[in-house]
Structure 1
Amino acid sequence: MPLSLAHIALIVRDYDEAIAWFTGVLGFTLVADEYQPEQDKRWVLVAPPGAGPGAATLLLARAASPEQEAFIGNQAGGRVFLFLKTDDFDRDYAAYRARGLRFVRPPAEHPYGKVAVFEDLYGNLWDLVELASTGCVSASASRP
């Protein structure tokens, strides 16, 4: 039986600011925004532009305790947390810079492809990456 990732939870401070940032800056699509009264929370899913049916989505999960709040912006302990794959690095890098996306490491060419590191609205690190034809990201990719 094949398995795949369905959702990746990203702890956020506020649903609406996170939706605005992901849809406005990254151009993601809002897939779901449903209130769950029994838990007093929302089920908010966003997906990268062009993501097909069945593709993994981000679950924007509002921190529900001080312990969870402590992880906003640092879900991977300072390492790159998520990898946003593109088919045209230069196009998307330019578009994101024009939208004010903050890149913390400039574009670099590696055997596995072209990559630059950016921060999301909370400070989590992401790679924008166009993979080389091998499609393999080496173990040395995106070390802080």
Structure 2
Amino acid sequence: MGNSEASNQYVRDLMGYMTSYLVEMSGKSDLKNVAQQPDVMLSVSCLLERLRGAASASEPRTQKAIYEMGFSVMNPILILLEVYKHESAVVYLLLKFDVDWVDGQIIYLEAQETAVIVNFCMRLLQLYSSHKKLL
């Protein structure tokens, strides 16, 4: 890619379907029932692996699009963590995506973006630890 904007647009086009799918899925009224189906669980797991791959590929030319990708799935990640709290393999992938995304982004962020990520991570950790207490 010749410039940053073209690189960011390429990432948006490539990852847009996947982020949209997670956002739509997390908003379904019957999510708790649908999410437990083996094919849906596999689909979510594969999708998280793809997002992880993109997140770990952060570089200056694509940072903006990858930040937007992660930002757009923050709430869906929290919802999926709640839904899959008893599915350790899916929980692991959710957490790994977050780690890779934060790790790839943190060096590029301004104070406001950093605050958004810190708040999200705190909510994620609180939700995760509340599930661990129940087990």
Q: Smaller-chain TM-score range?
A: under 0.3
Indicate the structure whose relative CO is greater, using CA pairs within 8 Å and at least 6 residues apart: 2
- Relative to its length, the structure with more helix (as a share) is 2
Structure 2 length-normalised TM: 0.26
Structure 1 length-normalised TM: 0.25
Larger radius of gyration: 1
